[in-house]
Amino acid sequence: MKINEKKKDFLDGLRDGFPIGMGYFAVAFSLGFIARKAGMTPIEGYLASVLNHASAGEYGLYTSIAELATYAEVALITFIANARYLLMSCSLSQRFDPNAPFFHRLLVGFGITDEIFGVSIARPGYLSPHHFYGAMLMSIPLWGLGNFLGIWLGNLLPGHITSALSVALYGMFIAIIIPPAKKEKVISAAVFASFLLSFGASQTPYIKDLSAGTRTIILTVIISTVAALVKPVKDNEINQMEGKE
């Protein structure tokens, strides 16, 4: 890849990462209140966010700390809450240049989040690690800063304001999935099925008792498998994605 292409991919990543980072900032700000109740300092909260950067994982981390859970319990809860990223990593690995060095794959794997995955997987052709780096550089520090300020400011802001701020992340994620869903019927069907089955799973006995992360993993495997069987990606479609004739 040429230097100019790497620079363009990196700048595109910065552009895509900014709105993601603003959404992260709002959510992390709310999580900061939970971290503060768990007795964490602003610096500890910042490091936890930068190294974890997952809302469900951080929530499990902070509540476990508040309940004086053991290290093993904290590690297990965090692993379960973040296990869906294993599936995202497998999906992204299929879109990487086969000749991409291992260290690029390792760094990209560290920085995967739901939203960064969404904006990256929608790009045509092979995925550029430099796009990831731009998105990570813009969004992850804002996540940590939001947590830092949430702990520092404590309960100075009314609760309804912090709750309203967190809605921005969900609106942004909807904006990510709507464009590809409008282009491909199978994607729109998968999105609709995910909404319907997610609600159904949250109301079904026994299944509703599973963690949200575990339910997400199960539904992701089922829906993606069905979609792949119904409309598998053909060789000519792969070639078009990679810019080949």
Residue 216 pLDDT greater than 80, yes or no: no
Say how far apart CA 30 and CA 164 lie, in whole Å.
10
Beta-carbon contacts of residue 235 (< 8 Å; ≥ 6 apart): none
Supply the pLDDT for residue 155. 62
Least confident of 56-70, 91-105, 192-206, 231-245: 231-245
Amino acid at 62: Y
- What total number of domains does the chain contain? 2
Supply the pLDDT for residue 85. 85
Share above pLDDT 70 across residues of the chain, in percent, rounded to a whole number? 84
**Are 140 and 205 found together in one domain?**
no
**Are 44 and 164 found together in one domain?**
yes
Supply the pLDDT for residue 128. 85
**Are 211 and 160 found together in one domain?**
no
Supply the pLDDT for residue 148. 93
Assess contact for 114 and 173: CB atoms under 8 A. yes
H or E segment to which residue 36 belongs: helix 3-37
Identify whether 177 is part of a domain.
no
**Are 120 and 55 found together in one domain?**
yes
Range of the domain at 233: 184-245
**91-95, 156-160, 198-202 — most confident range:** 198-202
**Are 231 and 153 found together in one domain?**
no
H or E segment to which residue 44 belongs: helix 42-52
Say how far apart CA 184 and CA 182 lie, in whole Å.
6
Query: For the whole model, what pTM was predicted?
Result: 0.66
Q: How confident is the model at residue 244 (pLDDT cuts 50, 70, 90)?
A: very low
**Are 21 and 107 found together in one domain?**
yes
Mean pLDDT for the chain overall? 80
Residue 20 pLDDT greater than 50, yes or no: yes
**Are 134 and 83 found together in one domain?**
yes
Residue 143 pLDDT greater than 70, yes or no: yes
Supply the pLDDT for residue 134. 92
